[in-house]
Structure 1
């Protein structure tokens, strides 16, 4: 029998990966919020990998409480993820996937783009996804990973925050073709924040092209998710810490946040 994979957070995405690990022959050991990770790590001290599938807001508390024995086996998949997030918890070499498929309750996984993966367990992740017919590919180095993470952040934050200005149900295709000035202004502010978070200037034309590739992958994707206000608040917290103007984000916040 193959070594088990621990899955922390059995929501929609966690369940997809759990099914893939099972289909590739790995027992799956789920960890819910009511369980002690430290106690469970004593029962499974050397799993094949530890997939952390909690939401963005739960990521740092989860990494803070992660048992030392599991820190060299981590797989991360959150949106709004950057290297500073795992480095803050002394996790040096995680496996990271930028998830470009959507999974909602009662529906099959919907692929927007192939999902890039990097790290020591990249093949494990790719095999699990391949068993479910979800495409992925491995990136070669940390620079490529950073680009992919920033690209996903740009897509998520631009569409969600711009969506606050648009009618309910507006799509990314409508944002691109009917509101290009809004899209560009929000994306510019978002990239200012992302550049501060990673600590260097970005290849902005490449990132914009990468975001538009994702628009083409699912033109009917709705811009505004339920988490849009929370994403805008987090973005402004970063902007305030960095001393960034981000005028478009601040104007949207003035109109749409309490």
Structure 2
């Protein structure tokens, strides 16, 4: 297809009336060359926007249904936004506080909120020395090489869940405290005989017994003698006591 520039020059050459205004062929030739030089450059076809170039990848990777699933798109955008601020130093506590704050306010208008996302993303990238456009192009090129892996991950995604993959259920703080208490009881040799309030005193007595034994096993003030008169200290004393406890347990 001829461009506007080529058409305008062609029309000029074909115009006999225009040619007749010149006295010589040289003048006519000079005018044509000037027209060629000053004709407006053809307008280049506008390049596809980044958003338009993401669409073919979405269709190739997920198909029309998942690509247009608004809830899925909400979840994946939120996931990526959280990963970005986590990488930039935001804490989980800060994220939870902001979730509570945002959801306590009236719902915004989508078009305006998209603008806010774009402006604040640009501001964040400026603060961290990042180029958002280069980062976007780099990521789009990368994910085109990961289509099969992303399809596999999507197929394994838990249904009706915002999470991108199966995650073991998190234990509550109470569960963790109960598990810690059970570990402390086991380490202290308590099998549940004592009430929780009694444990500090019991563990304190164990600590004092341990301190006494460490002092005794040094053998500097008192001596421990076995049944045949051997003076026991340090590792020898440990071994003898461990053996006696094993015998006692076996006899019991």
TM-score w.r.t. structure 2 length?
A: 0.21
Q: Flag the structure with higher strand content.
A: 1
TM-score w.r.t. structure 1 length?
A: 0.21
Higher CA-based Rg: 2
